[in-house]
Amino acid sequence: MFEPIEAAQRKNDSAPGLSQYQKDKARMALKTALEDGRPPVASLRTDCLSYVEVLAQSVSVIAPSTVPAAILGLIYASAGNASWLSFLIGMLGLVLVSYNINQFARRSASAGSLYSYIVKGLGPTAGVLGGWALLFGYMLTGMSTLCGFSVIARELLAGFGFAPPVISLYAIGAGGAFLFAYRDAQLSARAMLVFECAALAAVLALGVIVWRNHAFAIDVSQVKLEGATPGGILTGVVLVVFGFSGFESSTALGEEARDPLRSIPRSVVQSVVVAGLVFIFMAYVVILGFKSMGASLATTEAPLSYLATELNWPRLGAFINIGILLSFFSCTLASVSSTARIVYSMARHGIMHEALGAAHDRNETPHIAAAFAALATFLVATLVYLLGASPFESQGRFGSLCSFGFLTAYFLISVAAPFYLRKIGELDRWSVAISILGAGFMVLPFLGVIGVAGSELFPPPHYPDNLLVWVFVAYMAAGALWLVTLRTRNPKKLPAVSQANGVGGRRPAQPAQQAEAPSTTTGAVEITHPSIVKEEIEL
Q: Are 70 and 286 in contact (CB under 8 A)?
A: no
- CATH code of residue 276: 1.20.1740.10
Q: Cα–Cα distance between 269 and 441 in angstroms, integer?
A: 16
Judge whether 14 lies within some domain. no
Kindly list the distances between the CA atom of residue 46 and the CA atoms of 110, 520, 532, in Å, as whole numbers in the listed order: 11, 15, 12
Which residues lie closer than 8 Å to 512 by C-beta, 6 or more apart?
Answer: 21, 530, 531
Say what the pLDDT of residue 60 is.
Answer: 84
Judge whether 470 lies within some domain. no
Q: Are 149 and 173 in contact (CB under 8 A)?
A: yes
Judge whether 315 lies within some domain. yes
Q: Which of 212, 194, 204, 177 is nearest to 275 (CA)?
A: 204
Q: Cα–Cα distance between 85 and 235 in angstroms, integer?
A: 12
Q: Cα–Cα distance between 177 and 195 in angstroms, integer?
A: 13
Domain that holds residue 207: 48-463
User: CB 104: neighbour CB atoms within 10 A?
Assistant: 25
Say what the pLDDT of residue 28 is.
Answer: 52
- DSSP letter at 529 equals P
Say what the pLDDT of residue 1 is.
Answer: 38
Facing residues of 520 across strands?
A: 525
Q: Which of 415, 39, 381, 103 is nearest to 251 (CA)?
A: 103
Say what the pLDDT of residue 373 is.
Answer: 96
For the full predicted model, state whether its pTM sits above 0.85.
no
Q: Cα–Cα distance between 116 and 225 in angstroms, integer?
A: 42
Judge whether 477 lies within some domain. no
Q: Which of 450, 433, 443 is nearest to 411 (CA)?
A: 443
Q: Which of 380, 372, 377 is nearest to 353 (CA)?
A: 372
Judge whether 333 lies within some domain. yes
Residue 137: alpha-carbon gap to chain centroid: 8
Judge whether 490 lies within some domain. no
Q: How many domains does the chain have?
A: 1
Question: Is there a cis peptide before residue 303, judged by omega within 30 degrees of 0?
Answer: no
Q: Average pLDDT of each block of 10 consecutive residues along the chain (539 residues)?
A: 48 50 49 48 68 86 86 88 94 95 89 84 91 94 94 89 94 95 79 86 94 92 91 86 86 84 92 95 94 82 87 88 90 91 87 86 86 97 95 87 90 95 93 95 84 79 83 95 88 69 47 38 35 36
Facing residues of 524 across strands?
A: 521
CA atoms within 13 A on the CB side of 16: 1
CA atoms within 13 A on the CB side of 121: 29
Say what the pLDDT of residue 41 is.
Answer: 53
Q: Cα–Cα distance between 407 and 241 in angstroms, integer?
A: 9
Q: Cα–Cα distance between 171 and 181 in angstroms, integer?
A: 15
Say what the pLDDT of residue 507 is.
Answer: 40
Judge whether 512 lies within some domain. no
Judge whether 491 lies within some domain. no
Say what the pLDDT of residue 231 is.
Answer: 82
- DSSP letter at 40 equals P
Which residues lie closer than 8 Å to 385 by C-beta, 6 or more apart?
Answer: 166, 167, 170, 391, 394
> Could you give phi then psi for residue 520, rounded to 5 degrees?
-115, 150
Please provide the DSSP assignment of 113-132 as one string: HHHHHHHHHH-HHHHHHHHH
Please provide the DSSP assignment of 25-39 as one string: HHHHHHHHHHHHT-P
